[in-house]
Structure 1
Amino acid sequence: MAIQCNKPSDWVIHSSERRSQHWSNIYQTLLKEDGFIFCISGSDNCYENAGMESFYHIFKIEVINN
């Protein structure tokens, strides 16, 4: 897995759509074991994620890139 090769920093945010592979207990367990914080959207509405995309954009600029 790429995580094991790259060893990301203390924590990583993983945001995904509601697809079956992202709901898998095995997938979520692997993310938790590697220190990921994850969120899954609640519906198939394409506008639902717009607020979080904006937040993560600002977060990356202010926190990660500075």
Structure 2
Amino acid sequence: MRAVMNAALLRIRRHRPDRNPLRRRSDRVESAVLAVAVLLVLLSVWPAVLAGRVTYEGGLR
């Protein structure tokens, strides 16, 4: 279990925004793209739930 937690923390640390002068530009771009992708997924959940609810309630009638 500890190995899994260490691996997860390593992945999180790899994508955090910091001012490390050794970090490549491609690493910064990858982190930004990942943050935008996670945000889009989280924002798309609410409309999907609403669409599913409307479809389900329409099917019950």
Scaled by the length of structure 1, what TM-score is found?
0.32
Q: Bigger radius of gyration, 1 or 2?
A: 2
**Bigger strand fraction:** 1
Scaled by the length of structure 2, what TM-score is found?
0.34
**Bigger helix fraction:** 2
Q: Which has the higher contact order (CA 8 A, sep 6+)?
A: 1
